[in-house]
Chains A and B, each alone.
Chain A
Amino acid sequence: MTYEEFADSRLGALLRYAVMLTGDEHTAQDLVQDTMVRVQLNWRRVARSDSPDGYVRKMLTNQFIDLRRGSWLKRVLLRPEPGPVRVVSSDHADETAERDRVWSLLARLPRRQRAALVLRYYEDLPDADIAEALGCAVGTVRSSISRALAALRTELVEAR
């Protein structure tokens, strides 16, 4: 498989995955762009791996978990992370806010946990593949997913 073929067939899926991870279309584009440049730089290694797909997913996941690349100064030192801003002005907005509460709660989870949730509930991967993408043991995947779900549940109950 060439890089071109890979990009043709997989770019859309990677973008979807990145949007679910970051919750933001622009960050997702940057994430995918950075990852794909790395993919090209290391294409031979990617192509040689058992599953190029999984390999790239792992690269992108890692990059997301350490999203300080490129702007480490800003992130590490200078500014507090901007919190989610939500302006509720009407009943309709209220309803949307309620519906999207899960989505905004996701943003508060540790990145590893969020990634685990996306891999299981969006990408529908088996735990073994999630463990591979996150570079951890299957048991760790299960525990971090259940911890994330518990956190979401508590927050949702508190909010309601």
Chain B
Amino acid sequence: MSPIEEELRAAFERHEVMVPAAGPVRARIDIAWLRARRRRVFRRTAGAAAAAGLMAGAAVPVIVERWQHQAPTTPVAADPFPAAPVPDGALDVLLLGDDNRPGRQDPKSRLADTVMIIHVPADRSRVYLVSLPRDGEVELPGGTRARLSETLSRGGPALTARAVTDLTGVDFDATVTIGLRALRAITAAVGGVDMCLPQPIRSVHNGRKYPQGCQHLGADDVAPVLRARYGLPNGSYDRDRNAQVFLRSLAAKLTGDGTIHSPIRINELLSAGKGDIEIDGDAGALVVAVAQGAAEVVGVGEPGFRSMGNGRERIYPEVGPELYAAIRGDDLAAWSAANPAYVLR
């Protein structure tokens, strides 16, 4: 046997110490198996219509998998055990809009211009977007207080997520950080979106005027519209609303043309935004759940300024505790019915 073969054998043997004990793994397998079986029973007994709807979502990861492995395509509904489990229960994702711009000097100076909690209820009836003001003051681990937007440069998406979790008590299944470049590329890839602006925008970034009302926005319009804040009566609050409207328009576009159920198209879109999208957590679950609820997107935001007088804002000073409890308890439907002033329809 050659020396390299001997070294290989020795290396494998040496690493046998890394092998975990079988007992705990066995227990984990049993739990995973129970879960898989429950899903199977549910699928088999659910009504045909519900099953069809569910399959549409479940199909995405399965098709992607098959497509990636170049395995023969079989009808997905024939496979009662999709490899990627369909997440059940409510899903919470933190969405951060990174203000990164090409050509900026210091990448560490990035700010979270948009901070949004995406909540998909367990019944997948809709998608809620709960905006948090970027100048809102949060407490960081250790007790210092900072603007929410600064947390991104201080400790990356993880710190922002931590601060929002500390504030709201919501644990996130994933954190998604997306930059304007990615949104531009995605908009280009879907051929633009039709967006209804709640108020006119005169962009200081490209000098264009965007009238109030519905219009078609191309890739070049995305950044000016989403960044616009000067001249809007409620500044960054109005901007957060625009971001919600934009995401709603994008979701409408993606559901409307079937993209959201086409793994190949989703792959193309995300590849278009590559390098400017960062995901921590289970991205597959996110896509599936959002796809299921995307038919109705509901925005939640503070209607106007809540200044503390030092350039910082208070985050939901009046409704915060109930709002956060509603997110945690998956009861946003009732909450938004009771607080229409905060809801963007």
Partner of A102, one of B11, B28, B277: B11
Shortest CB distance A86–B (Å): 15
Give complex CA distance A156, B5 in Å: 13
Given contacts A37-B36, A40-B33, A121-B9, contact A72 B25 (CB under 8 A): no
B18 contacts A by Cβ under 8 Å: yes
Give complex CA distance A73, B2 in Å: 41
B4 contacts A by Cβ under 8 Å: yes
Asked whether A77 lies within 8 Å of B33 as measured between CB atoms, the reply is no
Q: What are the residues of chain A within 8 A of B172 when measuring CB–CB?
A: none
Q: What are the residues of chain A within 8 A of B29 when measuring CB–CB?
A: 7, 32-33, 36-37
Shortest CB distance B17–A (Å): 9
Q: What are the residues of chain B within 8 A of A36 when measuring CB–CB?
A: 29, 33
Within 8 A of B (CB), among A127-143: none
Q: What sequence of 0s and 1s flags, for each residue 65-106 of chain A, a beta carbon within 8 Å of any chain B beta carbon?
A: 010111111101111000000000000000000011011001
Give the A interface residue count (CB, 8 A): 44
Give the B interface residue count (CB, 8 A): 42
Asked whether A41 lies within 8 Å of B284 as measured between CB atoms, the reply is no
Q: What are the residues of chain B within 8 A of A74 when measuring CB–CB?
A: 279, 283
Asked whether B8 lies within 8 Å of A117 as measured between CB atoms, the reply is yes
- Counting residue pairs across A and B whose Cβ atoms lie within 8 Å, the total is 118
B45 contacts A by Cβ under 8 Å: no
Q: What are the residues of chain A within 8 A of B9 when measuring CB–CB?
A: 121-122
Asked whether B19 lies within 8 Å of A19 as measured between CB atoms, the reply is yes
Given contacts A33-B25, A69-B65, A149-B5, contact A25 B19 (CB under 8 A): yes
Q: What are the residues of chain A within 8 A of B18 when measuring CB–CB?
A: 19, 25, 28
Asked whether B284 lies within 8 Å of A70 as measured between CB atoms, the reply is yes
Q: What are the residues of chain B within 8 A of A37 when measuring CB–CB?
A: 29, 32-33, 36
Asked whether A106 lies within 8 Å of B283 as measured between CB atoms, the reply is no
Q: What sequence of 0s and 1s flags, for each residue 68-104 of chain B, a beta carbon within 8 Å of any chain A beta carbon?
A: 1100000000000101100000000000000000000
Asked whether B283 lies within 8 Å of A73 as measured between CB atoms, the reply is yes
Within 8 A of A (CB), among B23-43: 25-26, 28-29, 32-33, 36, 40
Give complex CA distance A12, B28 in Å: 14
Apart from A7-B29, A32-B25, A103-B11, 5 more pairs, CB < 8 Å: A12-B19, A28-B20, A37-B33, A72-B284, A102-B7
The residues of B with any CB-CB pair to A shorter than 8 Å are: 2, 4-5, 7-9, 11-12, 14-16, 18-20, 22, 25-26, 28-29, 32-33, 36, 40, 61, 64-65, 68-69, 81, 83-84, 267, 270-271, 274, 277-279, 282-284, 287
Would you list 20 pairs from A and B whose C-beta atoms are within 8 A, ordered by A residue?
A15-B25, A16-B19, A19-B15, A19-B19, A19-B20, A23-B15, A28-B18, A33-B25, A33-B28, A37-B33, A40-B36, A41-B40, A69-B83, A69-B84, A71-B283, A74-B283, A77-B274, A103-B15, A149-B2, A153-B4
The 5 closest A-B pairs by CB, nearest first: A73-B283, A122-B12, A11-B22, A102-B11, A36-B29
